[in-house]
Chain A
Amino acid sequence: MKQLLKNKNSRTNMITYLVVIVAYLIMQTLNSMDMLGSSVRGYLVPLCVYISLAVSLNLLVGICGELSLGHAGFMGIGAFSGIVIASLLKGTVQSDTLRLIAAMIAGGAMAGVMGFLIGIPVLRLRGDYLAIVTLAFGEIMKNIVGNTYVGVDDTGFHFAISPTKMRLGEGGKYFINGPLGATGVEKLANFTMGFLLVMVTLFVVLNLINSKEGRAIRAVRDNRIAAESVGINVTAFRMKAFVVSAFLAGMAGALFGLNYSAITATKFNFNTSINILVFVVLGGMGNILGSVISATVLYILPEAMRGLEDFRMILYAVVLILVMLFTWSPKFKEATAVFTGKIKGIFRPGKEAGNNE
């Protein structure tokens, strides 16, 4: 244990886990004491979902250095496949928790498979070209799901891509009803599952980062040619990160989908992808705890600003710009470096306040 704590990486990881666990315990205690309002209770699950999404996207953007603008697409695939699986298992699997877990794994698997399939051609591209292709993928996904009809009736399972070709018999049930999306979804998600999702995501991502492969991935990010020259199989590592990231996003999507009684494909659009990216960039590239915190703050912020009514979103935009300037601008950085350096100096006398990021 002592050995473990000496290692800076493990220490940061421990802190990350601790923060999440403590936050969960506090919220859960408050919840059980019935001290949370409906709105705060309502945030808990989506917040966990967005944290997972931010962490999994950070693996791609921060650690691998690949800009992806289609993370919501994977989330959407996870959400819809999760909903279909959860509905199909109704009756055969009694336990709601088991059904939820099955749905999440299925959602993750579907998204992972999609990630693999598009990864094969797409990962040949780099930088902004990769960004546009992931954007394109997200739009394709939204367009297809938004025009897909999946349902079941007495005669069996039905699938169509046009409303007129899809006529379910009496008592039939739509799982996905074109632009209406999935309706009448049974709400299986809960906060504990959200917490577990965050923990699993953190575990997978942190382990991947700190493994031998993680170092290889970072080497690829920092200097691809050098990494190649020392025999690192660049494509294989990029692919692995891409699929893992998609899988985790799919799981998060499934949890998200099963937290609401209705969901449409338009939710998983470019704007959602961008929002997740904002969480990542603001929290710091490659900084996992940063993603957790910035996702929390930025998700709550517009909700907390509801009192401002019509001026809410414009102020959110202003806050977003200001926070970006404060965190990234070299001038402000210098100022804060001096400040934090002094604080660090108090706690760790004799050590230089170094920048480890």
Chain B
Amino acid sequence: MKKFVALLLAALMAVSLFAGCGASGDEGTTPQTEATGSASGDEGTTPQSESTDSANAGSEAPALKIGMTGPLTGSTSEYGLAVRGGMEIAVEEINAMGGLQIEFRAEDDEADGSDKAVSAYNTLKDWGMQIFAGAVTTGSSLAIAAETVNDQIFMLTPSASAADVAMTGPNIYQMCFTDPNQGASAAELMAQEWPEAVIGVIYDSSDAYSSGIADGFLSKAEELGLNVAVDDAAFTADNKADLSTQVTQCKDAGCDMVFLPFYYTEAAQVLTYADTIGYQPTFFGCDGMDGILNVEGFDTSLAEGLVLMTPFDANATDEATVSFVTKFKENNDGKIPNQFAADGYDVIYALYDACVAAGIDGNTPAEEACQLLQEQFATLTIDGLTGKGMTWDENGMIAKDPAAVVVTDGVYVPLG
């Protein structure tokens, strides 16, 4: 019984925090500045506070509320924080332009894919979110997607790439390639450029993204008659400490082309080990590989000759990319943005363009915005950081050119 004294204290703390959030939630725009203040305080000016000020200054419509969920803590927080960083820049830019103002809020879903994801989403709903620009990971997106269908809230995910996400409902759109498509494009590209290659595939069988691409790749490769010598070199999130066995398997099977459909974190490990044992096939990666050149302490010469299909290149010299990269570095302690950040940035702009075209503002109810946005996205064409002339099909999947690059002297050079 005595333990309850302490528990009671904890409970009181929880309740007071709870009440604090609830109360400020009613005041509309205030929690925004509060909530982001602590996080982005060290990142310079907060775009949110600007938007709030300008929105309150005039008597016009309140700011449009866009929410996002992603892993902001834990082992995959890297990706969630990148998306959030990209989105914040877009919001900052849009609000500086005047006109339609955006209020942005990100919630942590711990990449959990069930209760935590849904409760992050519910928190945003209580905040008054009109448009949902998440989630970052496939698992969380799948859990939230059905909720958005129910609530009729428009959802444009920056990076959840499983085909099942967009298929959940007509109000769900994707900014990234879907996994099976990406796998198939990779197979087509290989058939075209390296028809003779002996191919090995290493993938993460505990991850939906990785196994989705591997699956798409393998079925397309079978169709195209590619020579796949190793197709079952899988690992899981629990045993990825050792990837040497999988690399050795590919080496022993005589593979001169190794397909790595996973994130750069593990890819850096594969490249390092392959180099140590003097194994030099052509490595072929996907969009998750983007960022490998910017891993702190990574010897970029190991990635020499690496082929990857990425929609974004942080070293590109066009004006939009340069400005984005500069701002991102400013806001994030000099970190170079990867494809996740660029997807996040494009998501906000796509939503902004569609909202302006449809006349959606802070007063439009979420359900109405959802209908209007669906109509807009049927015909919308967007030029963004991750592609030119991007359009969406009736399922909500994106059509953009898969750009393949090869790493030469530490930078991306278009393939071919």
Residues of A within 8 A of B (CB): 37-39, 41-43, 46, 139, 143, 146-147, 162-164, 177-181, 183-184, 187, 256, 259-267, 282-284, 287, 290, 293-294, 296-298, 300-301, 303-313, 319, 323, 326-327, 332-333, 336-337, 339-340, 357
Query: Which chain B residues border A178 with CB–CB below 8 Å?
Result: 205, 208, 211
Indicate if the CB atoms of B126 and A262 lie closer than 8 Å.
no
- Give Cα distance in the complex from A46 to B113, angstroms: 13
- Give Cα distance in the complex from A73 to B391, angstroms: 43
Q: Which of A146, A262, A264, A307 has the most CB of B within 10 A?
A: A262
Query: Which chain B residues border A187 with CB–CB below 8 Å?
Result: 146
Query: Which chain B residues border A264 with CB–CB below 8 Å?
Result: 113-114, 139, 208
- Give Cα distance in the complex from A139 to B206, angstroms: 12
Indicate if the CB atoms of B6 and A327 lie closer than 8 Å.
yes
- Give Cα distance in the complex from A304 to B119, angstroms: 11
Report B162-216 residues with CB < 8 Å from chain A CB: 162, 164, 168, 204-208, 210-212, 214-215
- Give Cα distance in the complex from A37 to B38, angstroms: 24
Query: Which chain B residues border A357 with CB–CB below 8 Å?
Result: 1
Query: Which chain A residues border B2 with CB–CB below 8 Å?
Result: 327, 333, 336-337, 340
- Give Cα distance in the complex from A282 to B11, angstroms: 13
Additional 20 contacts, C-beta under 8 A, given A164-B215, A294-B7, A306-B35: A39-B125, A146-B236, A147-B205, A164-B218, A179-B211, A184-B146, A262-B139, A262-B145, A263-B114, A267-B114, A282-B3, A300-B14, A301-B13, A304-B14, A304-B18, A305-B14, A307-B31, A307-B34, A311-B39, A323-B6
Label chain A's interface by main secondary structure. helix
Beyond A38-B125, A312-B108, whether A143 also contacts B113 by CB under 8 A is: no
- Give Cα distance in the complex from A308 to B204, angstroms: 33
Asked if B308 CB lies within 8 Å of chain A CBs, one says no
Indicate if the CB atoms of B142 and A261 lie closer than 8 Å.
yes
- Give Cα distance in the complex from A178 to B179, angstroms: 14
Query: Which chain A residues border B236 with CB–CB below 8 Å?
Result: 143, 146
Query: Which chain B residues border A282 with CB–CB below 8 Å?
Result: 3, 7
Query: Which chain A residues border B142 with CB–CB below 8 Å?
Result: 180-181, 183, 261-262
Residues of B within 8 A of A (CB): 1-7, 9-11, 13-15, 17-18, 20-22, 25, 31, 34-36, 38-39, 72-74, 107-108, 112-115, 118-120, 122-123, 125-126, 138-139, 142-143, 145-147, 162, 164, 168, 204-208, 210-212, 214-215, 218-219, 231-232, 236-238
Indicate if the CB atoms of A290 and B39 lie closer than 8 Å.
no
Indicate if the CB atoms of A284 and B3 lie closer than 8 Å.
yes
Of the candidates A261, A293, A304, A326, which one forms a contact with B21 in the assembled complex, judged by CB atoms under 8 Å apart? A304
Query: Which chain A residues border B72 with CB–CB below 8 Å?
Result: 309-310
Indicate if the CB atoms of B113 and A184 lie closer than 8 Å.
no
Label chain B's interface by main secondary structure. helix
Indicate if the CB atoms of B122 and A301 lie closer than 8 Å.
no
- Give Cα distance in the complex from A158 to B190, angstroms: 32
25 pairs across A/B with beta carbons < 8 Å?
A38-B123, A163-B211, A163-B215, A179-B211, A180-B139, A180-B164, A180-B212, A181-B142, A184-B146, A256-B114, A259-B115, A261-B143, A266-B139, A267-B112, A282-B7, A300-B18, A303-B123, A306-B108, A307-B20, A307-B35, A309-B35, A312-B108, A313-B73, A326-B5, A339-B5
CB distance from B124 to the nearest CB of A (A): 9
Query: Which chain B residues border A339 with CB–CB below 8 Å?
Result: 5
Query: Which chain A residues border B7 with CB–CB below 8 Å?
Result: 282-283, 290, 293-294, 297, 323, 327
Query: Which chain A residues border B39 with CB–CB below 8 Å?
Result: 309-311
Indicate if the CB atoms of A262 and B3 lie closer than 8 Å.
no
CB distance from A128 to the nearest CB of B (A): 21
Closest to B6 in A: A326
- Give Cα distance in the complex from A184 to B147, angstroms: 11
Indicate if the CB atoms of A38 and B218 lie closer than 8 Å.
no
CB distance from B174 to the nearest CB of A (A): 15
Of the candidates B18, B122, B214, which one forms a contact with A41 in the assembled complex, judged by CB atoms under 8 Å apart? B122
CB distance from B261 to the nearest CB of A (A): 13
- Give Cα distance in the complex from A270 to B216, angstroms: 30
Query: Which chain B residues border A313 with CB–CB below 8 Å?
Result: 73-74, 108
- Give Cα distance in the complex from A31 to B207, angstroms: 37
Q: List the 8 closest pairs (A to B, CB-CB), nearest first.
A: A261-B146, A262-B142, A39-B122, A309-B39, A326-B6, A38-B122, A42-B122, A304-B18
Indicate if the CB atoms of A263 and B35 lie closer than 8 Å.
no
Of the candidates B10, B22, B146, which one forms a contact with A319 in the assembled complex, judged by CB atoms under 8 Å apart? B10
Closest to B179 in A: A180
CB distance from B16 to the nearest CB of A (A): 8
Query: Which chain A residues border B126 with CB–CB below 8 Å?
Result: 37-39
Q: Which of B2, B73, B125, B211 has the most CB of A within 10 A?
A: B2
Closest to B163 in A: A180
Indicate if the CB atoms of B3 and A283 lie closer than 8 Å.
yes
CB distance from B100 to the nearest CB of A (A): 25
Query: Which chain A residues border B215 with CB–CB below 8 Å?
Result: 163-164
Query: Which chain A residues border B208 with CB–CB below 8 Å?
Result: 178-181, 264
Indicate if the CB atoms of B147 and A262 lie closer than 8 Å.
no
Indicate if the CB atoms of A306 and B147 lie closer than 8 Å.
no
